[in-house]
Amino acid sequence: MKTGKEDTGLSPIVETVAYLLAVPIATFGFYVALHGHLTPGGGFAGGAIVATIAALFLAAFGRSIIKGLHAKAFSSLRTLKNIGITAFGVLVLISLSATFLHRFLANSGWFFKISVPFGRNAGQLGSGGIIPLMNLAVGLEVVMGISLAVILLLVIDEGENSESIGGGARE
Amino acid sequence: MIGVPFIAVIVLILLGLSALLFKRNMIKIVMAIHIIGSAVNLFLISTGYRADSAAPIFSNAPKLEMVLPTPQALTLTSIVINLAIVALMLSFAILFFKYYGTLDAGKRRLFG
Amino acid sequence: MEVKIRAGALVVLFGFLLLAVASVRPFASPESTAMDDYFIQNAQEETGSNNVVTSVVFDYRALDTLGETTVLFSAVCGIFTIFIGRKK
């Protein structure tokens, strides 16, 4: 945990590959979350896939990627947490409405105009009603939650903050 | 007739419980609890299995006999709760290490 | 001595698990499937989702999912409080 030397990550090859891999990972996670009503997966799986970008960057760049913005680190983390709170509230409203409304939003609007054919079919993206929106909300919440947990578990154990926690313990 | 997944559930639960009983490192205890949780997930999935059935998804389904969907939904819930529990226990382990400088659960008592 | 007690407890629990699994109903033939058959028959016209598991998670048991996300959210809040909530 305390290595003693500055943790600046791995070689530039790994950093470049991490940069290149971040976009396909995010795209694939978004695809899994959006197609949750057609294919295996859903908001939780897609959110977990996108949240691996945080672990990938922490493994590739080391803790210095957070220390570089150390003054604004806490505020950015709190911003992430607020986004998670907002997605959570949206999920509350949407899930309540979807529980009490019967096929809410299905074949109604511009995106949801397709009704699902019964039985075995090929699957259309716009046929899910409100379920893709709920998948995206859950995916956003899971992305923020797991990323914040990974960042907090792996990064915030050095520096002034751990001194404040440790100093409070020894008194 | 005892199915093979139930045997796997027994093996996984015994692995986790033996690690819980004989290991004192907190990280290993957390790993043992997660192994037990995975065994419970496997048990839930295997209770909902019907012979010669497909996954309960209608997109290009190979056949219309499907396995039970409710245990799979509850397993999804269980996976996320396992993840939350493991993350919280790991943070408690880090906090324990910061306070006492060790991860041995037998060295210190939490209260006293 | 204590190791022997723990090993004995493990053996007893192994016997208990074996008994429990031997007395459970047989694999790959569940007994009562009325609710799940209803979900499979009616999930498409009631929720508009091809994936029956998704329709169970997000429509029939949406409040369950709400509690699940509450658990995840409060766990992250707990980690947040543990690590950086104590700044003075």
Q: What is the pLDDT along chain B (112 residues), one digit of tens a residue?
A: 667 888 899 999 999 999 988 888 889 999 999 999 999 999 999 888 888 888 888 887 788 888 899 999 999 999 999 999 999 999 888 888 888 888 887 776 655 4
Domain membership of residue A151 (yes or no) is: yes
pLDDT given at position A72: 58
Rounded to an integer, the average pLDDT of C54-58 is 85
Domain membership of residue B32 (yes or no) is: yes
Domain that holds residue B12: 1-46+69-112
Instruction: Tell me the count of A-C CB pairs closer than 8 A.
Output: 113
| Share of residues in chain C with pLDDT > 70 (%) | 94
CB contact under 8 A, A118 and C59: no
Q: How many domains does chain B have?
A: 1
Domain that holds residue A67: 12-156
The Cα angle at residue A158 between residues A156 and A162, in degrees rounded to 5:
80
Q: What is the Cα–Cα distance from B45 to B73, expressed in whole angstroms?
A: 9
Q: Model-level pTM?
A: 0.81
Domain membership of residue B10 (yes or no) is: yes
Quickly state the pLDDT bin for A115 (edges 50, 70, 90).
low
Rounded to an integer, the average pLDDT of A106-113 is 56
Complex ipTM tops 0.85: no
Quickly state the pLDDT bin for A171 (edges 50, 70, 90).
very low
Shortest CA gap C33–chain A (Å): 20
Chain C residues whose CB is inside 8 A of the A165 CB are 83, 86
CB contact under 8 A, B80 and A44: yes
CB < 8 Å & 24+ apart, contacts of C80-85: C80/A77, C80/A81, C80/A148, C80/A152, C82/B91, C82/B92, C82/B95, C83/A152, C83/A156, C83/A157, C83/A161, C83/A165, C83/B91, C84/A74, C84/A77, C84/A152, C84/A156, C84/A161
Residues forming beta bridges with residue A90, ordered by sequence position: none
For residue range A46-83, list pLDDT tens digits in order: 989 999 998 888 888 877 666 655 545 556 666 666 66
For A136, B35, C37, the CA distances from B70, given in Å and listed in that order, are 22, 22, 10
Q: How many domains does chain A have?
A: 1
CA torsion through residues A32, A37, A43, A48, sign: negative
Q: What is the Cα–Cα distance from B93 to B104, expressed in whole angstroms?
A: 10
Q: Taking a contact as any Cβ pair under 8 Å apart, which residues of chain A between 99 and 158 contact chain B?
A: 119-123, 142, 146, 149, 152-153, 157
Rounded to an integer, the average pLDDT of A118-125 is 72
Rounded to an integer, the average pLDDT of A90-119 is 58
Rounded to an integer, the average pLDDT of A156-168 is 44
Mean of all residue pLDDT scores within chain A = 70
pLDDT given at position B112: 46
Report residue B49 CA to chain centroid gap.
19
Nearest CA to A152 out of B95, C3, C58 is that of: B95
Domain membership of residue A7 (yes or no) is: no
Chain A residues whose CB is inside 8 A of the B94 CB are 1, 153, 157
Pair B68, C30: CB distance under 8 Å: yes
pLDDT at A162 > cutoff 50: no
Q: Dihedrals φ, ψ of B66, to 5°?
A: -125, 155
Domain membership of residue A162 (yes or no) is: no
A115 compared with A105, residue with greater pLDDT = A115
pLDDT given at position C22: 83
Domain membership of residue A5 (yes or no) is: no
| Share of residues in chain A with pLDDT > 90 (%) | 11
